Chain A
Amino acid sequence: MFQLMIFTPLILTISSVVLVLSLALSKKSKMNREKSSPFECGFDANSNQRLPFSLRFFLVTIIFLIFDVEIVILFPAIQSIFTSQEFYWNFIFISFLIILLGGLFHEWKQGSLNWAI
């Protein structure tokens, strides 16, 4: 763990040094208002770029959040094979997974997985 605490800042430093080097080495030119405006096909972007986005992306992230929490709950199960009886471990693991599958099918039936509304 201590090594990771060394390596993580080290690698972030390396990548930022690469970026700083490229900023220092790159060709310099005068900034132009047109050139540094956000990319558009031939006209000035005058409206706000951060448009309200489709709600589907947000809902997918919410569903992901649920399943990610389930995965986090599942993780200790693997380590606890050693310390538990096989029958009970198996019973609990499989019934948890079946509840998860039932939840997925319920969401499917309710239509929250449909992309086009």
Chain B
Amino acid sequence: MIQVILFLVVVVCVLVGVAFFTLFERKLLGYIQLRKGPNKVGLGGVLQPFSDAIKLFSKEHVSPSTSNYSAFLIAPCFSLGLSLLMWLSIPSFFNLLSFNKSVLFFLCGLGVGVYGLLAAGWSSNSKYSLIGCLRGVAQTVSYEVSLVLILFTPLVVTVGYELGSFSSFQENLWFIFIFPAAGLIWFISCLAETNRTPFDFAEGESELVSGYNTEYSSGGFALIMLAEYTSILFMSFLFSVIFLGGDCSFFVLVSFGVMAFIFVWVRGTLPRFRYDKLMYLAWKFFLPFSISYLVLMAGLLSMLFLGFKEC
């Protein structure tokens, strides 16, 4: 029972964090583009996310006449639930759900997350939605391979699938200093996996109107946005757990904030990629690199361990 309450606390905190992350993003994008962000609601715009939420939830819900209605409604719920469920796998100070296969758990969550995208795009039965969801699915799926293979490199060091054990291996030296290239590629794959800006082909608003969520309005749109930002926050938390220390201290929150900042910074800086270049980046650069890096690291580590054994 206490765990259910703790879990609900985590869910509420994540949702509030997502609300303020949208405000943070809008403010930051504003200052990047030399203008002020939202600064009217509340004290300097602090209450802006709540007014956004009230606006979104009280808008009219349009149901397209040609859509497959049940799938159209289930898809946002599914993606939001899935990205909130992935938060269970983080190592928590309160020992929320300590299970030792948490890496496998969030990888399963990432893999299933494609279905929410696919259902949202397919069921709304519009050309823009369908093209957006096809692009998003192909992109998410191909970056997932390099994401997992890059993750193997720290996993070979920590020997196990527990995210909580990453902190004990990084007390003296962070993994980002041991595997800098792996950290960089992991971050870029995270950007592509969450459909963030240099790779936001699922909602290329200059070509497809809004991509896979063209037909959504009010509640469905709000849920899709919440799901996206929840997975962005989860990815930045995961980066700070895997590569930047990751012990349950104040510092992990700082590095988490820095990672979320970098996500927004990339959005404010880089233009959109080209789709074939995106695919080449995934299959012809990241995948060979991650496999050969894993070969190098496995060989190096076992050489070290064999050397230790003979001493």
Chain A residues in the interface with B (C-beta under 8 A): 1, 3-4, 6-8, 10-12, 14-16, 18-19, 21-23, 25-29, 31, 33, 35-40, 45, 49-51, 53-54, 56-57, 60-61, 63-64, 67-68, 71, 74-75, 78-79, 81-82, 86-87, 89-90, 93-94, 97-98, 100-101, 104-105, 108, 113, 115-116
Contacts and interface: CB of A to CB of B under 8 A. Distances in A.
B141 A89 contact: no
Given A22-B222, A64-B142, A100-B291, 20 more contacts: A1-B99, A12-B78, A18-B80, A21-B57, A22-B219, A31-B63, A45-B126, A49-B66, A50-B122, A50-B125, A51-B130, A56-B138, A67-B145, A71-B148, A78-B152, A87-B302, A87-B306, A90-B298, A90-B299, A97-B291
Main secondary structure of the interface of B (DSSP, over half): helix
Given A4-B97, A7-B85, A115-B279, A104 B291 contact: yes
Give the 6 A-B CB pairs with smallest separation, nearest first. Answer: A22-B219, A115-B276, A38-B126, A90-B302, A15-B80, A36-B65
11 contacts: A7-B4, A7-B85, A19-B220, A35-B62, A38-B127, A39-B128, A40-B127, A57-B137, A68-B111, A90-B299, A98-B295
B216 to A, nearest CB: 11
B32 to A, nearest CB: 30
B255 to A, nearest CB: 25
Interface of B: 3-4, 7, 11, 56-67, 73, 76-78, 80-81, 84-85, 88, 97, 99, 104, 111, 122, 124-128, 130-131, 134-135, 137-138, 141-142, 144-145, 148-149, 152, 155-156, 159-161, 209, 214-215, 218-220, 222-223, 275-276, 279-280, 283-284, 287-288, 291-292, 294-295, 298-299, 302, 305-306, 309
